[in-house]
Amino acid sequence: MGVFLPSPRTSHRRDALLQRAFEIVPGLLLWSTFLGLFIFSFFQPVAVAIFIIAYDLYWLIRVTYFSIFMLLAYRRVRMEWGTDWRRRCEKASGEIPAYRREIEEETARAEREGAPKRRLQSLRLHLQEIRRIETEKVDVWDWTTIRHLVIFPTYQEGLEILRSSLRALLQADYPNERMIVVLAFEEREGIPAYRKAKALRQEFGSSFGAFLTTFHPDGIPGEARVKGANMAWAARQAKQYLDRENIPYDRVILSAFDADTCVDRQYFGCLTYNYIIHPQRTRRSYQPLPMYHNNIWDAPSFARVVANSTTFWHMVQSIRPDLLITFSSHAMSFKALVEVGYWPVDVISDDSVIFYSCYLYYGGQYETIPLYVPVSMDANLAESYWRTLINQYKQMRRWAWGIEKFPLMMRGFLIDRAIPLRKKIKHVFRMLEGNYSWGSAPFVIPVFGSLPLLVGGREFYQTVLAYNFTATTRSILSMALVGVFLSVFLCHALLPPRPARYGRWRTVSMTLQWALVPLSYIFLVGLPAVDAQTRLMLGRYLTFWVTDKKRKEGDVASGSPELGPVAGLAEVPEKREEVG
pLDDT by residue (tens digit) across 480-512? Answer: 888 888 888 999 899 999 998 899 888 898 888
Confidence of residue 470 (pLDDT cuts 50, 70, 90): confident
Comparing 14 with 274, which gets the higher pLDDT? 274
pLDDT at res. 532: 97
Give the mean pLDDT of the chain.
Answer: 90
Separation of alpha carbons 303 and 326, rounded Å: 23
CA dihedral 258, 264, 269, 273 (to 10 degrees): -70
pLDDT at res. 578: 44
Other Cβ atoms within 10 Å of 466 Cβ, number: 18
pLDDT at res. 371: 96
**For 64-78, 434-448, 556-570, which range has the lowest pLDDT when averaged over its residues?**
556-570
- State the average pLDDT over residues 264-284: 96
Q: Is the pLDDT at 220 greater than 80, yes or no?
A: yes
Comparing 519 with 332, which gets the higher pLDDT? 332
pLDDT at res. 567: 34
Percent share of the chain, pLDDT over 90: 73
pTM score, whole prediction: 0.90
Separation of alpha carbons 141 and 163, rounded Å: 33
pLDDT by residue (tens digit) across 366-379? Answer: 999 999 999 999 99
Is the dihedral angle over the CA atoms 55, 58, 63, 66 positive or is it negative? negative
pLDDT by residue (tens digit) across 95-134? Answer: 999 999 999 999 999 999 988 888 899 999 999 999 999 9
pLDDT at res. 11: 65
pLDDT at res. 467: 84
pLDDT at res. 261: 96
Bridge-based pairing state of the strands 284-291 and 367-376: parallel
Longest CA span, the chain: 83
- State the average pLDDT over residues 37-61: 93
Q: Rg of the chain's alpha carbons, rounded to an integer? A: 25
Decide: residue 219, CB within 10 A, 0-12 exposed, 13-18 middle, 19+ buried. exposed
Confidence of residue 524 (pLDDT cuts 50, 70, 90): very high
pLDDT at res. 479: 87
Q: Is the pLDDT at 579 greater than 70, yes or no?
A: no
DSSP state of 449: G
